[in-house]
């Protein structure tokens, strides 16, 4: 009996220990399940976030390609404009040089014409000296016709006959 009792106690202790072990294992398993659920939830959220970020990345890459294409287009346009400006500046420089040469030529010609104008023409030697038109052309002073001074003759006073 003592052995049975001893066996019973050992079995009861083992059963109690097993019961405690099952409860602890159940609690630990429950905590692990909660941890798994939390991690699964975080994984799902992370997956959604990764999907959203991938979509944003694709959108960004598309915009990047568009902006790069626009940049290349703008750079080509800028090069064209710079080339046009360079060509225009070259034309303007040529025009200024040509204008300067023409201005110098015209200035020289004006000076020559002024010099010719300042000289008395050889024709003036053959122009009549008393001709008004000839005097104008040859810069001779035009003599003014003498002024007629009208002398007022005093009228004889009429004798009053009364």
pLDDT higher than threshold 90 for residue 109: yes
Between 93 and 6, the more confident residue is 93
Asked whether residue 81 is assigned to any structural domain, the reply reads yes
Q: Model confidence at 162, in pLDDT bands (50, 70, 90)?
A: very low
Using an 8 Å Cβ cutoff, are 127 and 134 in contact? yes
For the stretch 64-81, pLDDT in tens is 999 999 999 999 999 999
pLDDT higher than threshold 90 for residue 142: no
Asked whether residue 154 is assigned to any structural domain, the reply reads no
Asked whether residue 132 is assigned to any structural domain, the reply reads yes
Helix (H, G, I), strand (E, B) or coil at 69: helix
Total domains in the fold of the chain: 1
> Which range has the top average pLDDT, 1-5, 18-22, 133-137?
18-22
What sign results for the dihedral spanned by CA atoms 37, 39, 40, 46?
positive
Asked whether residue 65 is assigned to any structural domain, the reply reads yes
Helix (H, G, I), strand (E, B) or coil at 135: helix
* Domain extent for 130: 8-137
* Structural tokens at position 26: 């159940």
Using an 8 Å Cβ cutoff, are 138 and 124 in contact? yes
Q: What percentage of the chain has pLDDT greater than the value 90?
A: 62
Using an 8 Å Cβ cutoff, are 149 and 138 in contact? no
Mean pLDDT value across the chain: 85
Asked whether residue 129 is assigned to any structural domain, the reply reads yes
User: Can you give the pLDDT at residue 92?
Assistant: 96
Asked whether residue 2 is assigned to any structural domain, the reply reads no
Asked whether residue 152 is assigned to any structural domain, the reply reads no
Q: Model confidence at 86, in pLDDT bands (50, 70, 90)?
A: very high
The mean pLDDT value for 84-97 works out to 96
């Amino acid at each position: 009996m003592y052995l049975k009792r001893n066996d019973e106690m050992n079995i009861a202790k083992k059963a109690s220990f097993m019961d405690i072990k099952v409860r602890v294992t159940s609690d630990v398993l429950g905590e692990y399940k909660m941890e798994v659920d939390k991690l699964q939830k975080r994984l799902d959220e992370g997956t959604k976030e990764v999907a959203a970020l991938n979509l944003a990345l694709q959108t960004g890459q598309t915009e990047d390609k568009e902006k790069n294409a626009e940049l290349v287009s703008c750079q080509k346009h800028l090069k064209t404009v710079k080339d046009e400006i360079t060509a225009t500046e070259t034309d303007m420089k040529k025009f200024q040089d040509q204008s300067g040469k023409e201005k110098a030529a015209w200035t020289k010609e004006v000076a020559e014409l002024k010099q010719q104008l300042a000289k008395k023409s050889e024709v003036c030697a053959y122009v009549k000296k008393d001709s008004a038109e000839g005097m104008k052309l040859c810069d001779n002073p035009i003599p003014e016709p003498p002024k007629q001074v009208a002398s007022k003759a005093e009228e004889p006073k009429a004798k009053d006959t009364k």
